C-alpha cells in the first residue's frame, strides 16, 4: 500500500513540474517595453512599459515633443487592451533614433504602436515618415489616416546595439505611441523553409513583418494569454462564405490539447484548442473547401504558417485532408495523427513560402482528400509574415522574384508577348524605312530648290552633306549667300556675343525671321567633329527649354550654325550680378568644387539633403562632372555616356526607377524612334515639328538610343 502511495506522489510531482515548466513560458534576454511621450510608466497586463522621458539614454533626440489625448481606442478593437499606451505619443520633426543595448544577438521582435489622435492643433494623421532598423526599411513614407495598429517585425540582430531610426518626410513629422524590442526564441523561426514549388528559401538574414496572425474558431486571443505576448485576432472577418453549403463551423475543445514547451512557443493552448472545420454536411466529392482571404502586398514572398491540432476526432487515421494557398497545394493528404507520431491532441505546425503572383490576396484553404471517405478538414491558427526583399526592405515592393518561378507560371503569357513584340518590331522597321526613304527624297528636292538661291540671282550648286552628315540626322542646309545677306556680310554692328566656337551675329532672313548666327573661326577651340555633333544632335529634337536649331552652312569651309534668336537675352543676363571683388573660386562653382577635392565631398552637398545623399552616388556624380570639364573636347564624354553615368548614380542612391531603365528604354525604342526621326528633317522657319510637350527624360532617352554611347 505504501508503494502505491509513493507512486501516486511521484506522479503528482511530475505533473506539477510539467505544469510549472509550461506556465513559466519563455523569458527573453532583451525585453525593452517603451511608452512613448508618457511622463510615467504604464502597465499592460503583467508587463511594465517604461516612459521614454524617464529613459533618456535610449533616445538620441531629447527635443522630441510629447503629446497626449483623452480619447480612447474603440472598445470593440483588439487594441483596446493597449489604450493606456495609445493615449500618448512622441513627435519628431527631425531624424531621431532609439538606441537599444542588446544582451544576446539573434532574432528580436520590434513592435511599433500607432494611433493617430488629434491634440490641440497637432493632427497625427498628417504625419508622413519612414522607419528603419539595422539597414532594414520597415516603413517607407508611412502615413496613417485613422484607426490603430501594431506593426510587428522580426529581425535577426547581429550586433550589440540595435538602432531604430525615425525619418520625417520634407515638411512633415514622425510619431510613435509605444514600442517593443524583445528577444525571440531561437526555435520560433526556422533557418530555411520550403516554397510551394518545392524549393528551399533561407530566412537566416531576412527580416519578417507579421501581416496576419489569426485564431480559427472565431475567438480573439489576448497577448496576456500568450507566452510571447502575441495578439491573435478572430478569423470570422476573413472567412469566405459559400451560399450552397455551410462551409465553416467553429469548434472549441481546450481539454483535448496535448501541449509541450515547444508547441507553447509556437502558439498558446487557446489557439490549438479552437478551430474552424469544414462543415459536416460537405461531400468529399463535392470539391468544397473552407477558405479565408487575406490582403497582401504584391512583389514580396511570404512565410505562411499553418497551426493544426485534432480536437474534433481523436481516433488516429480518421482525419486526413489537403492544404492550399491560392492555386498551390501545400500539403496533400495531411494526416495529423501520423505527423505527430501518434500523440493524441498534439499540435502540428506546417510552414511554406509563397508569393501572390498577379494578385494582392492570399486564399488559404483546407479541404477533403479524395483518398479518404471522411470529409472533415480543420485549421486552428494561421500566421502570414512578409519576407524582406533583396534590397533589405519591407515597404518597397521588389518584382525581381525567382525567374524560374515566373517562367513556369507565365510561360504562355511570355511566349505570346515575345511573339507580339517581334511582329510589332518588324512592322515598325518597315514603317521607319518607308518614312525615311520618303523624307530623303523630299529633302533632296527641297535642297535643289534652295540651292538656286543667291544674292544676285546666280545659280549656285552645293553638295549636300559635305562634312559627312547622315541625311537622316541633319537640319536644313543654308547657302552661304543667304547667311551673308542675313548678317550684312557679318557686320560687326550685328555681333551679339563671343564664345569658344566663334562670334555670334544677329541676322534677319528673307521671311523676316530673326536668327542668331554662330560662325566658327580658325582660332576656335572647337573643330569639325564638334560642329557636326552639335548639328546632328540638335536636329533630332526641340524643347521649350532649349534653343531651337534652324539650320547650318558648311559652304567654302565655313562652319556656321543658325539658331532661333533669343530676344530676351541669355540666362546669364537674368542672373543676379556677381560681385567682381570676390576670389574666383567663390564665384566659379567649378573651381570651388575642384578645390574641395574628393576628400570633402560632403561639403559640396546642400546642408538640407546631406543626410539623404549616399556617398557612393555623390562620388559617381562628381566623377561624371569632372570628365565633362576635360580641357580637350575629345576627352569629354558623350551625352549618352553622361546620361548612363547619372542613371548609375541614381541606382547607387537607391532610386527604384533606375532598376527598370533598361526595360523602359527598350519599350521606348518602339514607340519613339519613328517620332524622333520625323523631327530631324524638313526644318524651316515657322514649320518645324515642336516637341515642347515632351518630358526631358524622353529627350535624353532618345539621345541614348543613338550611336553616341
d(CA 203, CA 223): 26
pLDDT at 286: 58
Let me know whether 544 and 667 are in one domain.
Answer: no
Secondary structure of 138-175 as H, E, C letters: EEEEECCCCCCEEEEEEEEECCCEEEEEEEECCCCCEE
DSSP state of 638: P
pLDDT digits (tens, 9 = 90+) for 455-496: 333 333 333 344 444 444 455 788 998 999 999 888 888 888
Per-residue pLDDT band for 34 (boundaries 50, 70, 90) equals: very high
Is 192 a domain residue?
Answer: no
- The tens digit of pLDDT for each residue in 233-261 reads 999 999 987 654 556 788 999 988 998 87
Q: Report the pLDDT averaged over residues 307-324.
A: 80
604 shares a domain with 518: no
Secondary structure of 321-363 as H, E, C letters = EEEEECCEEEEEEEEHHHHCCCCCCCCEEEEEEECCCCCCEEE
Q: What's the average model confidence in pLDDT over 30-59?
A: 91
Q: pLDDT tens digits for 613-666?
A: 888 888 888 888 888 887 777 788 888 889 998 988 888 887 544 444 444 444
What pLDDT digit, counting tens, does each position of 168-227 carry? Answer: 999 999 999 999 999 999 899 999 999 998 899 999 889 999 999 999 999 999 999 998
pTM, full prediction: 0.56
Identify the CA nearest to 278 among candidates 316, 240, 333: 240
Residue of 524, 479, 533 whose CA lies nearest to 503: 524
Please write the tens of the pLDDT for every residue from 390-400.
889 998 765 44
Largest CA distance in the chain: 141
Q: Is the dihedral of CA 373, 375, 380, 385 positive or negative?
A: positive
pLDDT exceeds cutoff 50 at 320: yes
With respect to residue 17, please indicate whether it lies within any of the assigned structural domains: no
Pair (563, 601) in one structural domain? no
What is the average per-residue pLDDT within 91-99?
94
pLDDT single digits (tens) 548-574? 888 889 888 888 999 888 877 766 666
Clarify whether residues 590 and 681 are in a common domain.
yes
CATH number, position 241:
2.60.120.430
User: Angle, nearest 10°, between helix axes 615-628 and 589-596?
Assistant: 130
| Domain total in the chain | 4
For residues 52-76, give the mean pLDDT.
85
Going by C-alpha positions, the residue among 519, 524, 513 that lies closest to residue 550 is 513
Residue 407: pLDDT over 50: no
Three-class DSSP labels, 465-501: CCCCCCCCCCCEECCHHHHHHHCCCCCHHHEEEECCC
User: Given pLDDT bands bounded at 50, 70 and 90, which one contains residue 422?
Assistant: confident
Task: Please report the pLDDT score of residue 322 as a whole number.
Answer: 92
Whole-number Å distance between alpha carbons of 530 and 635:
12
Does 484 or 539 have the greater pLDDT score? 484
Tell me if 14 is assigned to some domain. no
Report residue 146 CA to chain centroid gap: 24
- 138-147 confidence digits (pLDDT tens): 999 999 988 8
Overall residue count recorded for the chain in this entry: 709
pLDDT band at 433 (very low <50, low <70, confident <90, very high): confident
List the single range of 85-94, 236-245, 576-585 with lowest mean pLDDT: 576-585
Q: Chain-wide mean pLDDT for the chain?
A: 78
pLDDT score for 656: 42
Q: Are strands 476-477 and 549-553 parallel, antiparallel or unpaired?
A: parallel
Q: Please check whether residue 349 is in contact with residue 304, taking contact to mean a CB–CB distance below 8 angstroms.
A: no
Residue with cell 518614312: 435
In the chain, pLDDT over 70 holds for what percent of residues? 72
Residues 51, 122: one domain?
Answer: yes
Which set of grid coordinates corresponds to residue 498? 563671343
Tell me, yes or no, whether 373 and 493 share the same domain. Answer: no
Per-residue pLDDT at 26? 78
The pLDDT value given to residue 476: 77
Q: Indicate whether 333 and 368 sit together in one domain.
A: yes
- The answer to whether residues 369 and 277 belong to one domain is yes
281/389 same-domain check: yes
The mean pLDDT of 393-409, rounded to a whole number, is 57
**Helix, strand or coil for residue 419?**
helix
Q: Counting beta carbons within 10 angstroms of the beta carbon of residue 188, is it exposed (0 to 12), middle (13 to 18) or buried (19 or more)?
A: middle
pLDDT at 396: 79
User: Contact, 272 vs 380, CB < 8 A?
Assistant: yes
- Is residue 339 over pLDDT 70? yes
C-alpha cell at 396: 518597397
pLDDT (0 to 100) of residue 667: 45
* Cα 219 from Cα 171, distance rounded (Å): 43
Among candidate residues 183, 199, 223, the one where a domain is terminated: 183
- Final residue in a domain of this structure, among 131, 165, 183: 183
Residue 567 and residue 604 in one domain: no
SS3 content of the chain, % helix, strand, coil (to 5): 30, 25, 40
Q: Which three cell numbers stand for residue 374?
A: 471522411
Residues 553 and 618 in one domain: no
Residue 299 pLDDT greater than 80, yes or no: yes
Residue 270 lies in a domain: yes
CA-based nearest residue to 212, from 149, 273, 254: 149
Higher pLDDT, 638 or 447: 638
Of 441 and 52, the one with more pLDDT: 52
Q: Which residue's entry shows cell 553638295?
A: 463
Q: Buried (b) or exposed (e) across 382-404, using 16+ Cβ within 10 A? A: bbbbbbbbeeebbbbeeeebeee
- The answer to whether 240 and 292 are in contact (CB under 8 A) is yes
Q: Do both 635 and 553 map to the same domain? A: no
- The mean pLDDT value for 283-308 works out to 86
Three-state secondary-structure class, residue 464 = coil
Look at residue 335 in the predicted model and tell me its pLDDT: 87
Beta bridge partners of 157: 106
Domain that includes residue 97, residue range: 31-183
Q: What is the CATH number of the domain that holds 545?
A: 3.30.200.20
Strand partners, 498: 503
Q: Is 620 marked as binding a ligand?
A: no
CA–CA separation, 576 and 586 (whole Å)? 15
pLDDT in tens, 257-280: 998 877 889 999 999 999 998 865
pLDDT at 423 over 90: no
282: left (phi over 0), alpha (psi -120 to 50) or beta: beta
CA–CA gap between residue 576 and residue 495 (Å, rounded)? 24
Q: Is 9 left (phi over 0), alpha (psi -120 to 50) or beta?
A: alpha
Residue 460, pLDDT score? 36
Positive/negative CA dihedral, 434, 436, 440, 442: positive
Where does a domain end: 544, 571, 598? Answer: 571
Characterize the bridge pairing of strands 328-335 and 233-234: unpaired
Q: Give me Rg for the CA atoms of the chain.
A: 36
For cell 517593443, name the residue.
Answer: 180
Amino acid at each position: 500500500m505504501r508503494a502505491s502511495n509513493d507512486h501516486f506522489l511521484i506522479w503528482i510531482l511530475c505533473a506539477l513540474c510539467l505544469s510549472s515548466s509550461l506556465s513559466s513560458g519563455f523569458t527573453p534576454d532583451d525585453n525593452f517595453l517603451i511608452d512613448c511621450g508618457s511622463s510615467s510608466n504604464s502597465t499592460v497586463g503583467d508587463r511594465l512599459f517604461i516612459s521614454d522621458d524617464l529613459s533618456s539614454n535610449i533616445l538620441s533626440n531629447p527635443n522630441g515633443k510629447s503629446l497626449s489625448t483623452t480619447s480612447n481606442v474603440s472598445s470593440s478593437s483588439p487594441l483596446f487592451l493597449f489604450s493606456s499606451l495609445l493615449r500618448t505619443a512622441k513627435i519628431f520633426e527631425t531624424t531621431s533614433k532609439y538606441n537599444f543595448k542588446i544582451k544576446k544577438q539573434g532574432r528580436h521582435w520590434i513592435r511599433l504602436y500607432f494611433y493617430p489622435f488629434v491634440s490641440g492643433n497637432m493632427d497625427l494623421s498628417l504625419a508622413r515618415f519612414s522607419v528603419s532598423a539595422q539597414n532594414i526599411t520597415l516603413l517607407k513614407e508611412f502615413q496613417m489616416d485613422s484607426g490603430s495598429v501594431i506593426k510587428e517585425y522580426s529581425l535577426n540582430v547581429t550586433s550589440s546595439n540595435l538602432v531604430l531610426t525615425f525619418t520625417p518626410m520634407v515638411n512633415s513629422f514622425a510619431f510613435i505611441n509605444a514600442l517593443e524590442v524583445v528577444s525571440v526564441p531561437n526555435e520560433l523561426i526556422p533557418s530555411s523553409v520550403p516554397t510551394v514549388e518545392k524549393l528551399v528559401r533561407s530566412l537566416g538574414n531576412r527580416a519578417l513583418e507579421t501581416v496576419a496572425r489569426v485564431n480559427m474558431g472565431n475567438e480573439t486571443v489576448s497577448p496576456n494569454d500568450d507566452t510571447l505576448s502575441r495578439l491573435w485576432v478572430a478569423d470570422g472577418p476573413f472567412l469566405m462564405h459559400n451560399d450552397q453549403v455551410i462551409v465553416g463551423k467553429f469548434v472549441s475543445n481546450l481539454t483535448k490539447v496535448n501541449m509541450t514547451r515547444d508547441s507553447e512557443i509556437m502558439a498558446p493552448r487557446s489557439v490549438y484548442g479552437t478551430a474552424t472545420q469544414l462543415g459536416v454536411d460537405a461531400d468529399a466529392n463535392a470539391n468544397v473547401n473552407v477558405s479565408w482571404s487575406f490582403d497582401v502586398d504584391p512583389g514580396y514572398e511570404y512565410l505562411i504558417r499553418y497551426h493544426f491540432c485534432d480536437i474534433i476526432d481523436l481516433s488516429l487515421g480518421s482525419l486526413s485532408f489537403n492544404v492550399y494557398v491560392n492555386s498551390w497545394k501545400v500539403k496533400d493528404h495531411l494526416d495529423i495523427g501520423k505527423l505527430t507520431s501518434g500523440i493524441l491532441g498534439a499540435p502540428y505546425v506546417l510552414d511554406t513560402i509563397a508569393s501572390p503572383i498577379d494578385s494582392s490576396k492570399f486564399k488559404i484553404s483546407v479541404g477533403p482528400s479524395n483518398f479518404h471517405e471522411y470529409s472533415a478538414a480543420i485549421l486552428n491558427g494561421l500566421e502570414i509574415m512578409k519576407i524582406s526583399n533583396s534590397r533589405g526592405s519591407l515597404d518597397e515592393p521588389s518584382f525581381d522574384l525567382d525567374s524560374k518561378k515566373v517562367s513556369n507560371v507565365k510561360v504562355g503569357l511570355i511566349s505570346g508577348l515575345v511573339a507580339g513584340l517581334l511582329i510589332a518590331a518588324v512592322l515598325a522597321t518597315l514603317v521607319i524605312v518607308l518614312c525615311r526613304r520618303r523624307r530623303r527624297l523630299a529633302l533632296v528636292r527641297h535642297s535643289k530648290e534652295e540651292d538656286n538661291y543667291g544674292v544676285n540671282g546666280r545659280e549656285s550648286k552645293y553638295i549636300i552633306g559635305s562634312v559627312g552628315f547622315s541625311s537622316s540626322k541633319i537640319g536644313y542646309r543654308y547657302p552661304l549667300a543667304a547667311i551673308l545677306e542675313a548678317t550684312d556680310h557679318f557686320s560687326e554692328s550685328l555681333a551679339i556675343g563671343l564664345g569658344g566656337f566663334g562670334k555670334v551675329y544677329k541676322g534677319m532672313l528673307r521671311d523676316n525671321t530673326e536668327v542668331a548666327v554662330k560662325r566658327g573661326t580658325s582660332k576656335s577651340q572647337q573643330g569639325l567633329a564638334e560642329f557636326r555633333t552639335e548639328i546632328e544632335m540638335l536636329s533630332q529634337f526641340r524643347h521649350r527649354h532649349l534653343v531651337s536649331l534652324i539650320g547650318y552652312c558648311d559652304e567654302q569651309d565655313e562652319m556656321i550654325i543658325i539658331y532661333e534668336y533669343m530676344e530676351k537675352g541669355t540666362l546669364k543676363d537674368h542672373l543676379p550680378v556677381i560681385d567682381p571683388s570676390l576670389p574666383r573660386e567663390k564665384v566659379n562653382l567649378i573651381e570651388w568644387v575642384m578645390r574641395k577635392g574628393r576628400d570633402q565631398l560632403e561639403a559640396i552637398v546642400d546642408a538640407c539633403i546631406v543626410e539623404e545623399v549616399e556617398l557612393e552616388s555623390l562620388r559617381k556624380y562628381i566623377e561624371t562632372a569632372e570628365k565633362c570639364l576635360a580641357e580637350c573636347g575629345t576627352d569629354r564624354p558623350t551625352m549618352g555616356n553622361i546620361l548612363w553615368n547619372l542613371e548609375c548614380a541614381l541606382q547607387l542612391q537607391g532610386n527604384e526607377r533606375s532598376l527598370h531603365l533598361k526595360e523602359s528604354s527598350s519599350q521606348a525604342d518602339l514607340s519613339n524612334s519613328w517620332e524622333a526621326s520625323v523631327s530631324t528633317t524638313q526644318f524651316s522657319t515657322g514649320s518645324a515639328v515642336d516637341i515642347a510637350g515632351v518630358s526631358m527624360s524622353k529627350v535624353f532617352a532618345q539621345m541614348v538610343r543613338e550611336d553616341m554611347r
